[in-house]
């Protein structure tokens, strides 16, 4: 194994060690989306719009909840490292930017995997999703990929904050446009042209496209390949941006 | 002084309106323990951060082991050990896990053994598996120092390494620094403690980003004055001498072998008083009292 990969693994291992010693954080990060999805079920049942299948709303909103929780959890991590001066110490010790970002994404992907799995299980149980196993796995792939991108997105955003307090205004700045412009509530085509362009920089837009394609009866993973590819490319872009914007020096 | 391993030439660094370094220059030789002494805001930490390449100077040149800490950071960092002022440790992790993590960055051979030796040196073997958040400030400093020493660096940069450490362990640390220096390790250490400053081979007194003097402790002491009090018939006669070794015989001659002299008391200026005088001379109207308070604290 190359020394770069070894160091990336060391960062991931250290982050997981830290997370494993914070049981409250772990429980909340997994339980919070599950509780919100239950409230979503109550809301959609109460709303009961005729001729609208609640599952077509539940799956994209479930994906949004995973995106939101994962993004918020990660938006603060590097700021904490910076204020504690451990980030500076990592750099001086010889850790490099891609190893630090990669290690964080790898470690938080473990949480994202558990979170995405439980969210899908809950969605299936509450909304009685009657999709074949292949479609369900495809939906899982989209939600999981979105969760991993949310990690990178959160880390990237946290590079622009110097203190933990500066992170908070950045949270609604990213999350609320996702709700309005990603297509989960209204069709993107109905938005003004400039807003349609803006929707293209929102990761949830690509995830929603993929999920909508998969929810058509008889759909397969390949049917949403364009969205998956866009989502993957988006992830690579955000990772690169996160790595390049991580300040090593002042 | 051995081969010059740390060279700082006319370095300037500004943070907004604050000029942290104003033409700082100094050199540190191989195997030398070089002290940076000065009040808060003197530029000690900025200089340290510049030397490890996490702060880019606005002007001037820095060289550590012949390398530019900013442009050649990757080549330099495996050869330097840095202990920042704050402990900079992961509070949820144990001392052992912190050491293992920072040790893994260097791909050091026999890391497990090195970690055990380091824990023994800092006297924390028995508590090596306890999380850092339960440690006192001094214990965290000990772990932080061990992290800097783990990969056996050629140059050590220590920013107030013994703050909060008890006197007995401080002595152990300094014995270790001496042993490292004897083995050729170059040590740059910033401190507020005057007794520690005396243990350095050379000292630079910094104030407001400038080096006021750069001398051995002996040379610094030579700048001090002797305060002589002669008791004659129960009355005190005070004299101050710039260079007691040369001037004391003259003073004694002045009084001759007067049988009425009861006692002669000679008090040498302390390093603290000498440093305060230097800082005061540099800025007679600029917060001298605050500076004195900081140094006394």
Interface of B with A in 155-194 (CB under 8 A): none
A23-47 and A97-127 helices, crossing angle to 10°: 40
Q: What is the pLDDT of residue B112?
A: 93
**Quick one: average pLDDT of B189-194?**
88
Looking at the partner chain, which of B74, B77, B88 has a beta carbon nearest the beta carbon of A86? Answer: B88
Q: Which of B54, B73, B147 sits opposite A88 (nearest CB)?
A: B54
pLDDT score for B257: 65
Mean pLDDT over residues A131-150, rounded?
A: 91
Q: Average pLDDT of chain A?
A: 89
A160-216 pLDDT, tens digit each: 888 888 888 888 888 999 999 999 988 999 999 999 999 999 999 999 999 998 888
* pLDDT at position B282: 65
Answer whether A98 touches B (CB < 8 Å): no
pLDDT band at A76 (very low <50, low <70, confident <90, very high): confident
- Answer yes or no: are the C-beta atoms of A93 and B153 closer than 8 Å: no
pLDDT at B251 over 50: yes
* Predicted pLDDT at A244: 92
Q: Which of A14, A21, A89 sits opposite B88 (nearest CB)?
A: A89
Contact A28, A69 (CB under 8 A): no
User: CB contact, 8 Å: A163 with chain B?
Assistant: no
N-term to C-term CA, chain B: 32
Rounded percentage of chain A residues whose pLDDT exceeds 70: 98
Q: pLDDT for A6-33, tens place per residue?
A: 999 999 999 999 999 988 888 888 899 9
Give B136→chain A minimum CA distance, Å: 16
B230 within 8 A of B186, measured Cβ to Cβ = no
**Chain B contact set for A95 (CB, 8 A):** 105
Q: How do strand B33-37 and strand B202-207 relate by DSSP bridges?
A: parallel
Please tell me the distance in Å from B106's CA to the nearest CA on chain A. Answer: 6
Name the pLDDT band for B297 (thresholds 50, 70, 90).
very low
Q: What average pLDDT does chain B have?
A: 87
| pLDDT, position B39 | 85
What b/e sequence results for B142-178 when a residue is b if at least 16 CB atoms lie within 10 Å of its CB, and e otherwise?
bbbbbbbbbbebbbbbbbbbbeebeeebbeebbeebe
Provide the whole-model pTM. Answer: 0.85
Residue of A17, A21, A249 lying closest to B55 (CB–CB): A249
Indicate the residue of A13, A96, A249 with minimum beta-carbon distance to B54. Answer: A249
Q: Taking CB atoms and an 8 Å limit, are A14 and B90 in contact across chains?
A: yes
% of chain B residues with pLDDT over 90 = 55
What pLDDT band is residue B285 in, cutting at 50, 70 and 90?
A: low
Instruction: Kindly tell me the burial class for residue A150, based on how many C-beta atoms sit within 10 Å of its own C-beta (0-12, 13-18, 19 or more).
Output: buried
Per-residue pLDDT, B292: 47
Tens of pLDDT, residues B150-186: 999 999 999 999 887 888 888 888 999 999 999 999 9
Q: Do A93 and B80 touch (CB under 8 A)?
A: no
Please compute the mean of the pLDDT values over residues B15-28 and round it to a whole number: 93
- Give the pLDDT band (50/70/90) at residue A1: low
Per-residue confidence (pLDDT) for residue B28, from 0 to 100: 96
Whether residue A92 and residue B54 make contact (CB cut-off 8 A), yes or no, is yes
Given an 8 Å threshold on Cβ–Cβ distance, is B105 in contact with A7?
A: yes
């Amino acid at each position: 194994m190359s020394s770069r990969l070894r160091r990336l693994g060391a960062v991931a291992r250290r982050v997981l060690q830290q997370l494993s010693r914070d049981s409250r954080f772990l429980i909340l990060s997994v339980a919070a989306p599950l509780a919100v999805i239950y409230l979503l079920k109550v809301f959609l049942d109460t709303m009961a719009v005729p001729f609208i299948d609640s599952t077509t709303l539940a799956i994209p909103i479930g994906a949004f909840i995973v995106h939101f929780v994962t993004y918020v959890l990660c938006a603060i991590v590097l700021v904490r490292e910076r204020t504690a001066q451990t980030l500076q110490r990592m750099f001086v010790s010889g850790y490099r930017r891609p190893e630090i970002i990669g290690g964080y994404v790898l470690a938080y992907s473990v949480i994202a995997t558990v979170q995405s799995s439980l969210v899908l299980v809950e969605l299936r149980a509450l909304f009685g999703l009657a999709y074949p196993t292949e479609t369900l796995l495809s939906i899982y792939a989209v939600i999981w990929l979105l969760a991993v991108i949310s990690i990178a997105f959160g880390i990237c955003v946290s590079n622009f904050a110097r203190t933990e307090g500066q992170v908070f205004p950045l949270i609604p700045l990213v999350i609320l446009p996702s709700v309005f412009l990603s297509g989960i509530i209204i069709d993107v085509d109905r938005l003004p042209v400039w807003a349609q362009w803006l929707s293209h920089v929102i990761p949830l837009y690509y995830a929603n496209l993929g999920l909508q394609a998969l929810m058509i009866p008889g759909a397969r993973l390949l049917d949403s390949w364009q969205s998956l590819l866009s989502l993957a490319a988006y992830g690579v872009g955000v990772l690169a941006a996160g790595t390049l914007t991580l300040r090593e020096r002042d | 002084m051995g081969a010059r391993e740390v060279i700082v030439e006319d370095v300037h660094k500004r943070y907004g309106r604050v000029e942290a370094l104003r033409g700082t220059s100094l050199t540190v030789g191989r195997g030398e323990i070089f002290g940076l002494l000065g009040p808060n805001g003197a530029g000690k930490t900025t200089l340290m951060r510049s030397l490890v390449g996490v702060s880019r100077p606005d002007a001037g040149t820095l060289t550590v082991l012949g390398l530019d800490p900013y442009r050649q950071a990757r080549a330099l960092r495996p050869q330097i050990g840095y202990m920042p002022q704050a402990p900079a440790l992961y509070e949820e992790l144990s001392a052992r896990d912190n050491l293992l993590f920072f040790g893994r960055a260097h791909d050091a051979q026999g890391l497990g053994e090195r970690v055990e030796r380091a824990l023994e040196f800092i006297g924390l073997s028995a508590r090596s598996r306890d999380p850092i958040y339960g440690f006192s400030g001094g214990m965290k400093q000990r772990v932080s120092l061990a992290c800097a020493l783990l990969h056996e660096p050629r140059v050590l940069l220590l920013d107030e390494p013994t703050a909060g450490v008890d006197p007995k362990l401080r002595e152990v640390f300094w014995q270790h620094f001496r042993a490292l220096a004897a083995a050729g390790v170059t040590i740059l250490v910033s401190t507020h403690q005057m007794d520690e400053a005396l243990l350095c081979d050379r000292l630079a007194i910094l104030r407001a980003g400038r080096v006021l003097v750069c001398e051995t402790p002996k040379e610094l002491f030579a700048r001090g004055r002797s305060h002589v009090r002669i008791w004659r018939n129960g009355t005190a006669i005070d004299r101050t001498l710039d260079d007691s070794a040369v001037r004391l015989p003259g003073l004694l001659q002045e009084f001759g072998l007067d049988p009425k002299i009861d006692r002669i008391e000679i008090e040498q200026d302390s390093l603290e008083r000498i440093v305060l005088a230097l800082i005061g001379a540099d800025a007679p109207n600029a917060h001298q009292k605050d500076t004195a308070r900081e140094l006394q604290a």
